[in-house]
Amino acid sequence: MAKSVSLVRNLSSKILTYLILGVTGILVLIPFLLAISGSVKTVDDVFTYPPRFLPYSATSIEIDGKEAPLFEIPMEDGSIGEFARVKQGVTVRQWVGIEDPAVKFLAPKEQLQDTGKTIELDGETVGVFSDAAGKSFANVGSAIVGAYQDASDPSAPLYYAPSADLKPVESVSAEIGNFGEVLALNGFDRSITNTVLVTILVVSGQLFTSILGGYAFARLRFKGRDSIFLVWLGSIMIPFVVVIIPLFQLMVGIDWVNNLGSLVLPFVFSAYGTFLMRQFFVTIPKELEEAALIDGASRWTILWKIFVPLSIPAIATLTTFAFLYAWNSFLWPLIVIDSGNQAASVLAPALSVLGGRGADSPNLILAGIILAIAAPIAVFIFAQRAFVENAQSSGLKG
């Protein structure tokens, strides 16, 4: 009995755990899914209420070589017909049935025949017209509307109605062109190119200096090594805002303001990266290094032929962090690069500018966001897989 109760408790605990994790995962994914959906919507679809997850766009057909949007129009038999708008801004008359005032419609004056008679309607004298069937109608006003052609029967008379009163025929369709449009907007493509270049240089430089520094602090013996390492490690505790002013003054002194070099050089040295690589190098058995030295290998060869291949998990981790920092950097580029300098603009400030100028086009803003987060997500997934695989396969067997 006790065993059964314990089994039920364990099962209930697992179900509750997976349920909480599942709900949390869904809540985390919802903003990303909405951003992806909104990035391929039209402007009108983004502002549709109630909001819809799937992207919809208006359906159109070609009439006389031109695209005509389709609208849903209720028919007399209660069905819904699809009509193509062939004209806009058409001036028509408003008609009311004399025998049956409930009959109301819009049509050009030319479609009815003037009987020459008049009638008093709501205290006003209005003209009387008749249609082909001989029914009489009173002209009670005019309106500017659209003209619609029956998509299934082009020979049928045109239908006239205000476009705002009709529902467009829509179908699920992704506006992939939003991405091309946002790339051409305010030099956004140049910002992405600059960001890719800066990120590659920062990541490459940070890996190189961190590997060299980590190996020096882990394996080389020199006076004051531990003290220097503690000072270098302690620099992590200094907030970046403290060094912004002196760093900016340095960039001004070497004339690197509005230069991509100012986004690279200050960040190719990383105390965290050096610490990470040093801690990983310390775990590598000294016997491997000593055997290589006996075989005549130099320190440089030992580093790149033995230590680096065995340190892929740490390198993958450092690459991920360095990439995310360089790719998402906002404050420093905002300070050292003028907002109007598109030649040296990078992604994060460009997104901020896009958010201000494209307030009336949220679909383009979302498309820019998706372009901005696509690379970090891809790098994170790839680096995470490399980290797990190498962590399992790079162990040393004694």
Tell me what the mean pLDDT of segment 118-132 comes to. 75
For 319-339, the DSSP string reads HHHHHHHHHH--HHHHHHS-T
CA atoms within 13 Å, Cβ hemisphere of 138 = 16
Name which of 162-171, 275-284, 291-300, 342-351 the model is least confident about.
162-171
Q: What is the pLDDT of residues 206-260, one digit of tens each?
A: 999 999 999 999 998 889 888 999 999 899 898 888 999 999 999 998 888 888 8
Mean pLDDT of 168-172: 80
Rounded Cα distance, 96 and 138, in Å: 5
Q: What type of residue sits at position 287?
A: E
Look-up of token digits 């040093």: 278
Look at 299 and 129; give whichever has higher pLDDT.
Answer: 299
The token duo for 60 is 């159109």
pLDDT category of residue 388 using cuts at 50, 70 and 90? low
Element holding 190 (H helix, E strand): helix 188-219
Higher pLDDT pick, 391 / 176: 176
DSSP H/E element including 367: helix 362-393
Which secondary structure element, helix H or strand E, spans residue 70, and what is its range?
Answer: strand 66-74
Name the residue with tokens 């249609």: 131
Average pLDDT over residues 93-122: 77
Residue 2 confidence class, pLDDT cut points 50, 70, 90: low
Q: What is the rounded CA–CA span in Å between residue 222 and residue 36?
A: 54
Q: Report CA-CA distances (Å) from 343 to 100, 145, 335.
A: 70, 48, 15
Query: Rounded to whole angstroms, what are the CA distances from 24 to 20, 65, 322, 391?
Result: 6, 52, 28, 28
Q: Which amino acid is at 319?
A: T
Q: What is the pLDDT of residue 48?
A: 80
d(CA 84, CA 60) in angstroms, rounded, equals 7
| Predicted confidence band of residue 77 (pLDDT cuts 50, 70, 90) | low
pLDDT band at 1 (very low <50, low <70, confident <90, very high): low
**DSSP secondary structure, 55-67, as one string:** -EEE-EEEETTEE
The distance in angstroms from the start CA to the end CA of the chain is 48
* 347 within 8 A of 372, measured Cβ to Cβ: yes
Q: Is the pLDDT of residue 389 over 80?
A: no
CA distance 344 to 336: 10
Percent of the chain with pLDDT over 70: 93
The residue with tokens 């291949």 is: 309
Residues 6+ apart with CB under 8 A from 192: 183, 347, 371
